[in-house]
Structure 1
Amino acid sequence: MKLLTAIIRPHKLDDVREALQEVGIQGLTVTEVKGFGRQMGHTELYRGAEYKIEFLPKIKVEVGVTEAQAGPACEAIQSAATTDKIGDGKIFVSELEEVIRIRTAETGETAL
């Protein structure tokens, strides 16, 4: 099993959710986060004063998938989240040691 953690632009969340549903992913967790990478923030003007925004709003999407679903899910996220500009985000793929469904105590892939 794999844990996919994707950092994406906020306005791409619905596109990513729909793309994951199309490849058979039923559940995901979404968190509003802030960060920066190569984009390095930007400068804004407010009431005549210029100030730098270093941490940009992003969305973190986490999804637990089977080994077979990992490739198609990564491709779906990448195609749905891209704008071909700096700041589109990243996908991190991690090993998922165990999953336990709280309600039924199912474990492993059946708990996904």
Structure 2
Amino acid sequence: MVREVKGMGKQKSYLDQYADSEYSLAFLPKVEITLWVDDARAEEVVRKVVEAARTGRMGDGKIMILPANPIEMPV
């Protein structure tokens, strides 16, 4: 699944002052790629996604890998 999302960050965003510190007020456009992959192919798929999706801009490369436990349905 590929979807457009928004996230917080300081790069190219509007900064404001609050209690003498800067903080970001902007939600920046991002792309989220969600995949279900067999454990044996996970490293290969990560390499290929990075190769295809990396833009070279700040914020690239945030990859989260979580276990997917199938739900067994009673027969």
Q: What TM-score results when the alignment is normalised by the length of structure 1? A: 0.47
Matched length:
64
Q: Distance in 2 between matches of 1:76 and 1:92?
A: 15
1:14-93 to structure 2, matched below 5 A, reads: 29-37=1-9, 39=11, 41-43=12-14, 54-93=26-65
The percent identity for this pair of structures is 34
RMSD of aligned C-alpha atoms?
2.6
User: What displacement does 1:91 show?
Assistant: 1.0
Q: What TM-score results when the alignment is normalised by the length of structure 2? A: 0.65
User: What displacement does 1:99 show?
Assistant: 6.2
By percentage of residues, which structure has more helix?
1
Residue aligning to 2:20: none
User: Radius of gyration: which is bigger?
Assistant: 2
Which structure is higher in RCO with an 8 Å CA cutoff and minimum separation 6? 1
User: What displacement does 1:42 show?
Assistant: 2.1
Structure 1 unaligned spans of 5+: 1-28, 44-51, 106-112
By percentage of residues, which structure has more strand?
1
Q: What is the identity, as a one-letter code, of the residue corresponding to 2:13?
A: H
Q: What is the identity, as a one-letter code, of the residue corresponding to 1:31?
A: R
Distance change in 2, residues 1:74/1:82 (3 Å): same
User: What displacement does 1:32 show?
Assistant: 1.8
Structure 2 unaligned spans of 5+: 15-23
